[in-house]
Each structure stands twice: as structure tokens, then as C-alpha cells.
């Protein structure tokens, strides 16, 4: 399929042909959802932990005499029902990540790219670069293009001026093509790819 290429100034700069095997799939929400859950689970620290009754520093002596109190027979103050006692079945530190095959992860990325094409939320730019690291100027250019919530993917290296100018603009993410991922694509309304990024993606899935 062919899609128009635009410049940062909003001018047309020809067309580029996109590969149907990368950008022309019929998007499947279940595949994309599994990949997002995989990424979010992998990002979890998993350091949440509470103290059980064996971890609480309490005396091991019996609380009171066994018989004659008219109440229940308790042995340890570290039991969960007492103030200062250990937590029963509380969270423990663990790794939340799970496995997905490399083939499936690649498929999910192609489905996410295809979803942006189908929604009309894909923009191709000839180059992501700026003459000066001026946030105000870049914000003006984005306003003309209607980019308020976007993920911008450049080539192997991001132009330093463009990166500095864009980093203070809310809801705008800038990544090199190596960092493209399903979660960031889905969480932003518009996906902006440079021509270098398109070439790198098609070469990657060739």
C-alpha cells in the first residue's frame, strides 16, 4: 500500500510503499493484548512483601495460662489476629514475568503497526530532525500536524536537537527504531515513523 510522506513543516514529500506483511495484516486484539500484558508484567518490580508470623519479633512464651481464663487458648502473640502479629497469606517478593516466544512477539508488533494503519493513525515523515533544540518551535509544528498524543520513531539514532526539543512536550514520546514496542504504540493515539524507521522495520521482518 502507498501512503503519503510529510515533512515536519506539514508539506507533502512524495509517497512511500508499505509492505503488506508488516503493515497490512488484519489486526487481532487478542494478540496485541497478550503482548501488552507480557510487557507490563515484565516491568513489575515484584518487591512487595509483608512479614509472616515467623518474621515478626515476638516472644515465644505463652500469652497467659492455658486453663481457667474462660477464653480461647492462644500460644503466640505473632499470630495474625493480634496487633503487631504477622500477616496471613500476605504478598511475597516474586518475579511476575512470563514467557512469550520470539516469533509471537514479532507477530504482535506487526499487528500493532497494522492496527495504526487501519485506524488512519499512522504518519510517515521524511526525517525527524530539528535545526535547533527549541521546544516552542517544535510544539508549533506539531500543532499544525495535529500531533497532540504521539509516539515518534526515528532511525537507528535520534537527532539530538529533535530529542531535546521534544522531551518537554507532554504526551510525546521519541524512540529509536530499536526501541519500538507494542505497549508504547498502543498507548499513544498517533504513530509517527520516519522513512528510515520504515526501511528498518521492513528489513527486520523481511
Max Cα separation, the chain? 93
Q: Would you state the cell numbers that stand for residue 54, as one nine-digit string?
A: 515467623
Question: Low-confidence residues of the chain, pLDDT below 50?
Answer: none
| Calpha distance 54→57 (Å, rounded) | 8
Fold of 2-45+96-204: Ribosomal Protein L4; Chain: A; (3.40.1370)
> In this predicted structure, what is the pLDDT of residue 14?
87
pLDDT tens digits for range 157-170: 999 999 999 999 99
> In this predicted structure, what is the pLDDT of residue 71?
87
Burial of 95 (0-12, 13-18, 19+ CB in 10 A): exposed
> In this predicted structure, what is the pLDDT of residue 13?
83
CB 42 within 8 Å of CB 100? no
CB 203 within 8 Å of CB 194? no
Domain ranges of the chain: 2-45+96-204, 55-90
Looking only at the bridges linking them, the beta strands covering 150-153 and 122-125 are unpaired
pLDDT tens digits for range 99-114: 999 999 999 999 999 9
Q: How many CB atoms neighbour CB 150 within 10 A? A: 22
> In this predicted structure, what is the pLDDT of residue 46?
94
Q: How many CB atoms neighbour CB 156 within 10 A? A: 10
| Calpha distance 146→186 (Å, rounded) | 18
> In this predicted structure, what is the pLDDT of residue 112?
97
Looking only at the bridges linking them, the beta strands covering 122-125 and 172-175 are unpaired
Amino acid at each position: 500500500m502507498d501512503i503519503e510522506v510529510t515533512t515536519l513543516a506539514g508539506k507533502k514529500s512524495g509517497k512511500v510503499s508499505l509492505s503488506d506483511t508488516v503493515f497490512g495484516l488484519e489486526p487481532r486484539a487478542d494478540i496485541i493484548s497478550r503482548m501488552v500484558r507480557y510487557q507490563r508484567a515484565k516491568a513489575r518490580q515484584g518487591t512487595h512483601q509483608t512479614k509472616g508470623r515467623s518474621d515478626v519479633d515476638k516472644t515465644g512464651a505463652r500469652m497467659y495460662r492455658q486453663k481457667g481464663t474462660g477464653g480461647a487458648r492462644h500460644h503466640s502473640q505473632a499470630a495474625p489476629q493480634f496487633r503487631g502479629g504477622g500477616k496471613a497469606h500476605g504478598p511475597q517478593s516474586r518475579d511476575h514475568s512470563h514467557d512469550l516466544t520470539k516469533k509471537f512477539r514479532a507477530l504482535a508488533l506487526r499487528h500493532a503497526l497494522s492496527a495504526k494503519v487501519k485506524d488512519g493513525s499512522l504518519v510517515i515523515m521524511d526525517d525527524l530532525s530539528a535545526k535547533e533544540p527549541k521546544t516552542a518551535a517544535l510544539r508549533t509544528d506539531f500543532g499544525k500536524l495535529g500531533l497532540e498524543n504521539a509516539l515518534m520513531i526515528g532511525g537507528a539514532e535520534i537527532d539530538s536537537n529533535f530529542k531535546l526539543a521534544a522531551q518537554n512536550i507532554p504526551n510525546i514520546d521519541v524512540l529509536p527504531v530499536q526501541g519500538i514496542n507494542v505497549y508504547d504504540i498502543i498507548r499513544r493515539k498517533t504513530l509517527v515513523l520516519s522513512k528510515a524507521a520504515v526501511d528498518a522495520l521492513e528489513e527486520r521482518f523481511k
